[in-house]
Amino acid sequence: MKEYGTRTFGELYAERYDVMYEDPMVTETHDSVETLAELAGGGKVLELAIGTGRVALPLAARGLTVHGIEASEAMVAKLREKPGGSAIPVEIGDMAEARVEGTFDLIYLVFNTIFNLTTQEAQVRCFKNAARHLSARGMFVVETVVPDFSEYVDGQRMKGSWANMDAARFEIAIQDRVAQTVAFQRIVISEDSTRMVPHFMRYAWPSELDLMAQLAGLERRDRWAWWDRSPFTADSKSHVTVYARAGQ
């Protein structure tokens, strides 16, 4: 997966992203928008990896001023096709490096997207870039899964998604425990063709993300298991973490 870069995910998934995640993401989108709107408190908002606008557009519809950073022009093109999408300013670039004018009261990075930065160093730079854009009272919100490899055998997993009379979709994942990376290949086989869509990520544990925040001059304010602010426990499969400037 050496060829997998910051723009790769968007270039591969832009055409199908909304269709792929439409049904399972309805509840998550509603829950995340509710909580993020509350945290924003009417202030300016910046989404890192804004994508096709799944979260940004509902926030903008609530009257919030929303900006975005996105590496993939293909993803932004899909955002622009949607009602209200052309009104959201988006800086094209790497979310670990790209700058946007001004500061923001809420910056967020959701749906495991911090893991799309495939080195620890890049993830640390992303935290530092978020910190540079935070207002004095600003908050940086990160949502990811808690890595779980209980289904893996010898560092590998193969799992089916669906099957019908003439096609099937399954996924192969191979973990590198030293690098904390997972290489995915999502495969759809039909009577007429075989399609493969790769994905590559570097996972990080919640405590590791907290340390990245400290390196960026931030500290953890809250951690929930989900957007409904349910308590985070040892059994939680995901986390939503709120960071702010240290000593604020």
Question: What pTM was estimated for this model as a whole?
Answer: 0.93
**Which pLDDT belongs to residue 26?**
64
**Which pLDDT belongs to residue 197?**
87
Residue 24: exposure state from Cβ atoms within 10 A (0-12, 13-18, ≥19): exposed
Contact between residue 243 and residue 212 where contact means Cβ atoms under 8 Å apart: no
47/70 Cα distance (integer angstroms)? 9
**Which pLDDT belongs to residue 8?**
74
Smallest Cα–Cα separation from 112: which of 27, 244, 239, 243? Answer: 239
Strand 181-190 versus strand 104-109 pairing type: unpaired
**Which pLDDT belongs to residue 184?**
95
- Which stretches of the chain score pLDDT less than 50? none
Smallest Cα–Cα separation from 238: which of 220, 248, 223? Answer: 223
CA distances 100 to 68, 114, 116, 130, 198, Å, are 8, 18, 20, 10, 30
- Where b means 16+ CB within 10 Å and e means fewer, 225-245 reads bbbeeeebeeebebbbbbbbb
**Which pLDDT belongs to residue 151?**
95
DSSP 113: G
- Domains (range + CATH), the chain: 8-147+203-245 (3.40.50.150), 156-201 (2.20.25.570)
**Which pLDDT belongs to residue 71?**
95
